[in-house]
Amino acid sequence: MISSRRVFLRSAAGLAIVSGTGAIFAQPSIANSGDPASPSKDSVSKAQRAFAEIVPGGTSPNGWLINTAANSGGSVWTRPVPGTGFEIDVAIGDVEVILVHIVRRFHYEIDTLRPGEVIGFKSPATVKRRELNHASGTAIDIRPGHYPPDVRNGFYPHELAVIRDILTQCEGAVKWGGDFSSPDEAHFEIGVPPTDKRVRKVAQKIRGWNITPGAGAGVLRDLKMPG
């Protein structure tokens, strides 16, 4: 029987970097023991390196900032997926909350996932146009070897019902590759730009579930009921 789990997702806070497109994302805090009005050379150099990890003016097809690497000062970091024993590389903040929720529901309600079976960030140098959403840390592939591109009906009806319920919970902020004209049933992505209010709304809803017993991922629910 699937048990409920209480999860507290850590959020990242700190320095804000503004891209050439005007988008803002949070950076890990940079300690500065000196005058707040006069940041140290070390903090300045870290901020410059952080900006260097964002492709200047570059956004993925869904409108999010493209990173050149994970864990290198940009907006993409390795984040835990509570209850699974593994981590994924995703954009920190609201995107992280949503994508981690998707992975956890798949893990609990469709099939147990193992390390290496969920792919998040991909280098922009290695992907094609649509896959650039991976380069912004806003897309994941769950078991891509089991659900290859251009193949439909990889899920049993009850598994498909879970996926549809996840999409309903995400209120249009997430797209599933199974709905693409050229299907990719392993693929989930943030389907709206950073300015879309649904991203914050859905993430806040999931955060509430994560601290509420009997709510959120890992809880058996009637899939006929609205999420």
pLDDT surpasses 70 at 158: yes
* Helix, strand, coil % in the chain, rounded to nearest 5: 25, 20, 55
pLDDT in tens, 10-35: 333 333 333 333 333 433 332 333 44
pLDDT in tens, 53-110: 667 668 999 999 999 999 998 999 999 999 999 999 999 999 999 999 999 999 999 9
Q: How far apart are CA 23 and CA 16, in angstroms?
A: 10
Helix (H) or strand (E) holding 99: helix 94-109
Inter-axis angle of helices 197-210 and 94-109, to 10 degrees? 50
- The pTM score is 0.74
**Average pLDDT of the residues in 35-45:** 49
Please report which confidence band the pLDDT of residue 36 belongs to, taking 50, 70 and 90 as the band edges. very low
Place of tokens 């899920």: 155
Q: Among candidates 160, 165, 166, 161, which has minimal Cα distance to 140?
A: 166
N- to C-terminal Cα separation, the chain: 21
pLDDT surpasses 90 at 155: yes
Asked if 14 and 25 touch (Cβ cutoff 8 Å), the reply is: no
Asked if 112 and 155 touch (Cβ cutoff 8 Å), the reply is: no
Segments making up each domain of the chain, as ranges: 16-210
